[in-house]
Amino acid sequence: MSPLSPDVLPLAEVVALANPPETFRSWVPVRQEKWSEFSIMQCLAPDGPPDAGETSFVVDAEHQVLGSGAAVCIRYERNLDLAECPENIALDDDGGLEDDVIQRILDRVQPKQGFRTVIDFRTLSVDSFSAEASDGPFYPEARVLSPHVHFPSVLLSSLRAMHRLPQARHILLVKTKLDDLSNSVRVLKLCNPFGGSHLLKEAEFMTNLPETNFLVRPTHMVLDEAGLFHGLLSDYHPASSLNITMSLLHPDTVPPVLPPSGDDRSSGSLAGIPASISWPVKLAWATDIAAAVAWLHAQAIVWADLKTDNILLCTDGHCRLIDCCPGGGWTAQWCPPEAQSLGWEGTAEGDVFALGLVLWCVAVEVAAGQREQDFVSPRLLWTDGMPQWFQTLVSSCLDPEPGRRPSAYYVHETLVLSGESNV
């Protein structure tokens, strides 16, 4: 596989794209608050509104110090006896419990510093409620470290949280005073209630991978004083994912909805979306991504979750993969028709289907490919002037029949050879 080639990138343009002046443009600062790290989770019923939820936060946390204060999780279910009650309002409004309700609960239950207090809340009448509490570890998602993970380690207590990703609150920007990190900003991915075990699996997966320039690897594992695994540190790239990059390039543009293949309802043009990125940069990024997928397949690794969210635009102007550990699930929006089969866990052909959608997103500068129907091969819409050879290559990746799709290796080689002769 050809290595990433910096010399094919228009330097001034790509440096500007990969190093935006708004360094933390997709992050929110971690602020000193009475109740910090506030989050809400709703459990959807099969038919109808949510029937259960949680409101979680940390009380009296020391500013930016992870694991400080008292963690609180207030759980509640839909109250069928009282239609007008705090828990039903929280579930219907999707906004969590109101502040005055939380304060009344905390007046009765005193959370313990350094622990996580789970409170089962229920309204009994207009003037009374029950609040049954139990204490456990502050970070219940922490895992016993696998002996097969061999990254350098840093202590969770040495990290200071600076910013948080709004759509994924377990991902933070942190600083540390350790000499070997030179007080630099890093990305911390913490274990979370839905992926603690998978993150440890990802650490083991990354440990055993051969060295490569196609992926963004963790730099450190994060442990507590007892040696439990809490997460992974990696280098910070301010441009963030391709999804965010494209979204910010065209904030007022509504992504097109792709009709099923064979549908001729529209002209097939996206002339309304102005081009903000030159073709040489797009071609270089497409080549980076195809090379990375081909490299994974050469290691007999099938991913199943390739999408623009999992492709990072790095400070050197190249695109690399993140979160590429197999077994982490898949996203219907990026999946091939065969993914509807029961028990589908991904194939090389499925990765190529997602690769086709990603290359289309890069070419037409959209964050994601919206399809009228998930699991149906779409008919792609193109901006004016898109090279025909590129359209043909990308469309072949989306063939409804898996066996007719090209390999990732072929896609990469075609991008290299056709790009050289057709730019």
289 or 384: which carries more pLDDT confidence? 289
Q: HSE on the CB side for 21, CA within 13 Å? A: 0
**153: pLDDT strictly greater than 50:** yes
pTM, to two decimals: 0.86
Pairing of strands 220-223, 186-190: unpaired
Q: What is the mean pLDDT of residues 147-168?
A: 90
75 or 8: which carries more pLDDT confidence? 75
Q: HSE on the CB side for 79, CA within 13 Å? A: 21
Q: What is the mean pLDDT of residues 348-366?
A: 96
- What is the predicted pLDDT for the residue at 179? 46
Q: What is the DSSP string of 52-98?
A: EEEEEEEESPPTTBTT-SEEEEEEEE--SS-SSSHHHHHHHHTS-S-
- What is the predicted pLDDT for the residue at 170? 87
For 6-16, what is each residue's pLDDT tens digit? Answer: 455 667 888 88
Q: Are 283 and 420 in contact (CB under 8 A)?
A: no
Distance CA 4, CA 30 (A): 36
Least confident of 19-28, 136-145, 345-354: 19-28
382 or 293: which carries more pLDDT confidence? 293
Least confident of 18-27, 36-45, 158-167, 326-335: 36-45
Least confident of 4-18, 28-42, 73-87, 110-124: 4-18
- The tokens for 71 are 């963690």
All residues at 6 or more sequence positions from 311 whose CB lies less than 8 Å from its CB, including other chains: 241, 242, 243, 289, 319, 320, 321, 322, 358
Q: Are 185 and 162 in contact (CB under 8 A)?
A: yes
**253: pLDDT strictly greater than 90:** no
User: Of 9-13, 97-101, 175-179, which has the strongest mean pLDDT?
Assistant: 97-101
State percent of the chain over pLDDT 90.
60
SS3 225: coil
The backbone torsions φ and ψ at residue 355, rounded to the nearest 5 degrees and listed phi first, read -60, -40
The backbone torsions φ and ψ at residue 6, rounded to the nearest 5 degrees and listed phi first, read -60, -25
**267: pLDDT strictly greater than 60:** no
User: How many C-beta atoms surround the C-beta of residue 411 within 10 A?
Assistant: 26
